[in-house]
Chains A and B, each alone.
Chain A
Amino acid sequence: MKIHIKNGRLVDPVNNFDAKADLFIAAGRVAAVGKAPAGFSANRVIDAAGLVVCPGLIDLSARLREPGFEYKATLESEMLAAAAGGVTSLACPPDTDPVLDEPGLVEMLKHRAKTLNLAHVYPIGALTVGLSGEQLTEMAELRDAGCVGFSHADVPLQDSQVLWRALQYAATFDFRVWLRPQDGYLSKDGVAHDGEVATRLGLPGIPAFAETVAIATIIEIMRATGTRVHLCRLSTREGVDMVRTAKSDGLPLSCDVGIHHVHLSEMDLGYFDAHCHLQPPLRSARDRDALRQGLKDGTIDAICSDHTPVDEDSKLLPFAESEAGATGLELLLPLTLKWALETKLPLAQALARITREPARILGLDAGHLSEGHTADICVFDAEHYSTVSAAALKSQGKNTPFLGIELPGKVRYTLLQGQVVYDAGND
């Protein structure tokens, strides 16, 4: 299969390329940029006039809900959602049922994903068995089975001695450990940011310092062990400041933010909107602005969707009883574009947060369009606005605070290893 993508605006943040150029794809790889290779004869020509052609998006956190939660979503539905969202690589956290703590489970997931062949799936293994915070998993075995990192998902690791041992053991093999910084005791029973809105609505709060206390613990252990750590879903202004300092101290620390937290704040809870029940909680407008600043100055490396499909019944409950999370794979690009427009950020810099940077954190040679490289590509219309609707979402989870909101950015084609896995024209 040879594909010629012509007349598009090619944006490649790794190669610092942003100009009109044709792309030639053969044998699953980028054959040439600009001029056709000698003797190139395309089986298919995609006219990308007026469209942006960029590396396929890389999502640092997408729950596919398999195994264990097939009533919320299946691998099929969510991989289709990824393709429709222009996402060609995704990392999935270990909070499945059973938890991804055994090589067999990881191999099965990789195999299932491979069969569907709609996106590359990179499992993050559990740091402790069953995420119960006691026994370390066989990290090296899990790595051999395909895990690219280890995490404790959203489950607090209460015992800081276990955390210390886990970071030591991971450092032994130079594994990156992904941690969502939130102190389990301080956040106990909490469902919303401990502030004005939670006070008004009478919702149990999670204080901002539940995050900073956890970051402080992690950073201090990192200083001793030298472990590479990726902090997931930063949510507070103070947290951003701590990461900034730690990075300037030279610690091997990276971090991401969920795309919803870039746009929303506690105010969006409105009258108990369960779609805004997220983990970490939506915090104050000041925190959100600090997250945006952190993204802009590079303190925050990447944006992820933190895709969490939730079935309707689990959202149609009083706020505190509803399940946290929002669907995100198909909104990652539109919401990133919206952020770029609002902050007047050049497109290439915005796209770097969902291509180049996550690739670096995952340790992948991906997120660029160099000649000879795997052709994972997203072709989208940045000017096209459409209204988010449950019907239009491919994900089985229709749970998003952005239902009914008009957003920029429409994916036209997604290519995985040189094959068209999504074509909006067929929708």
Chain B
Amino acid sequence: MQLKPQVTADTALVGIHTGGVWLAERLHAALGIALPLGVLDISFYRDDFDKTGLHPQIKPTQIPFEVDGRHIVLVDDVLYTGRTVRGAMNELFDYGRPASISLAVLIDRGGRELPVAAQYVGARLEVPQGHMLVLDRDEHGKLRLKLDA
């Protein structure tokens, strides 16, 4: 695990709804992070609101720690255009001024539209444009990657 050596008492994990939260929950336990886990729903920060409107199901954002001065690791399932990460960073800054933000993702599928890079990447995958790759939960609660055309 590349992340482990970087973890300090000031490190906080923040998962991005929905897949990122599932991963963050696992990482949070595996890394033994002291600060409680944060969760972000970036619906209020999306840049495509004018086109798609408000997401039909919004989960509350919960940042149960002081953001000022923290080293925050954002966790998401799939990194693609980078727009979600931009929204997540904007939202975090409305909670305070973190010392640093780094990004951990399970899959980097390329296709960036913004200058965003992940520091910690599980795997890199080529996914054709127009396909949706998301982390999903099967009927037994097990996590799986789902590819939709």
Contact flag (A, B; Cβ within 8 A): no
